[in-house]
Amino acid sequence: MDRVLSGMQPSGRLHLGNLVGALQNWVRLQDKYECYYFIADWHALTTHYTDTSKIGDYVHGMLIDWLSAGLDPEKSTIFIQSWIPEHAELHVLLSMMTPLGWLERVPTYKEKQEEIKDKDLGTYGFLGYPVLQSADILIYRAKHVPVGVDQLPHLEITREICRRFNFLYGEVFPEPEGLLTEFPKVVGLDGRKMSKSYDNCIYLSDTPEEVEKKIKTMMTDPHRVRRTDKGDPELSPVYQLHKVFSTKEEQAEVAEGCRTAGIGCLDCKRILIKNIFNLLEPIWNRRKVFLEKPDLIREIALRGTEKAKDIAIKTMGDVRKTLKLYM
Ligand code: TRP
């Protein structure tokens, strides 16, 4: 079986957008590949270095979110980046041969610096973000890396660094490939992209009551003031969510009901609530079990880390040898 590797930064609770855009895919891949999934806590520090007080809680919360969403430690290796210092060792070696120009040209470097104005991202660590990511991937000799399109520049530089290493010192790393899948766009409660920073999310850790309340108070087509007003479903974020979470028949039914004022907004929302509840129910059930066992969460991370570490240690042995370091 080919090896798959991917990671996520622990920067808070996961929401429906993360579930549809990444986690569900990771869960599906578990049966087809040898999967390694890790929490990139060092990467989170590249942007959140001034206040590190929440990082431990975020890591723990992310483990619970992952396991509740169906990542299965019997199938996948789940681990924590900072528990495997070999990532840092490979990072430092790769940094020796990575031209500055390559890093300065990575589109996310400039974009993020311009986008995030409240933090000073003029740091060495932030510039080296893609080198650390390359180390994460190459150290496991992963073949496929499931990521969103936003991560493609990082994958491209990983491949470049990989080729440069192999050319300079000898073939150690296979070239990894991005594994892109089409995902439907999940809008938030206000119709913009679902995102923590917009405060418009339905979280995997929300209770059924919270989810119901969030959907019931969602905006709809603003032109539909009264029940008898006809609406345009395309102007309603509720309909955008139906497109992701409801069947084609239900979508047609609520669209028609909206246009003709045949149904009220609450009727439309009830169908969405039912479908999102169906999706979240198994996740809620697993979460309940895991919340009662905080030690188990840590144990799963420890066990996964141990397994990943074996591979990382082996690769670093090959790397040191190939670099002709004194052994
Ligand atoms: N940069 C990725 C993100 O923000 C997280 C990440 C770090 C990652 N290392 C990785 C993803 C290695 C895939 C492989 O989403």
Write phi, then psi, for 162 (nearest 5 degrees): -60, -50
User: What is the domain-level CATH number for residue 223?
Assistant: 1.10.240.10
* pLDDT over 90 at 280, yes or no: yes
In this structure, are 49 and 136 located in the same domain? Answer: yes
Q: Does 279 lie in the same domain as 141?
A: no
Alpha helices in the chain (DSSP H): 16-18, 24-29, 41-47, 55-69, 86-96, 100-104, 107-115, 124-127, 129-138, 152-169, 208-216, 237-245, 248-259, 265-291, 294-322
Edge-first strand listing for the sheet containing 177-179: 77-80, 34-39, 3-8, 144-146, 177-179
* pLDDT (mean) for 137-160: 96
Residue 220 lies in a domain: yes
242 within domain boundaries: yes
129 shares a domain with 7: yes
Task: Say yes or no: 81 and 30 in one domain.
Answer: yes
Q: Does residue 194 sit within a domain?
A: no
Mean pLDDT of 34-40: 98
The C-alpha atoms of residue 315 and residue 58 are separated, in whole angstroms, by 29
Domain region containing 262 = 206-287
Res. 181: pLDDT tops 90: no
Confidence (pLDDT) at 293: 93
Do both 63 and 108 map to the same domain?
yes
Pocket probe mutation, ligand 1, options 3, 4, 9, max atoms within 8 Å of Cβ:
9
Task: Output the pLDDT for position 261.
Answer: 96
CA of 8 to the centre of ligand 1 (A): 5
Question: Do residue 53 and residue 8 come from a single domain?
Answer: yes
Q: Are residues 155 and 17 in the same domain?
A: yes
Q: Among 48, 147, 152, 173, name the best residue to mutate to test ligand 1's pocket (greatest count of ligand atoms within 8 A of Cβ).
A: 147
Total of domains in the chain: 2
Q: Which of 75, 112, 243, 309 is catalytic?
A: 112
Q: Average pLDDT in the 222-238 region?
A: 94
Closest residue by CA, ligand 1 atom 6: 7
pLDDT of residue 183: 87
Q: Which residues contact residue 266 at a Cβ distance below 8 angstroms, ignoring those fewer than 6 apart?
A: 216
pTM (2 d.p.)? 0.96
Amino acid (1-letter code) at residue 145: V
pLDDT at 178 over 90: yes
The CATH number that applies at residue 135 is: 3.40.50.620
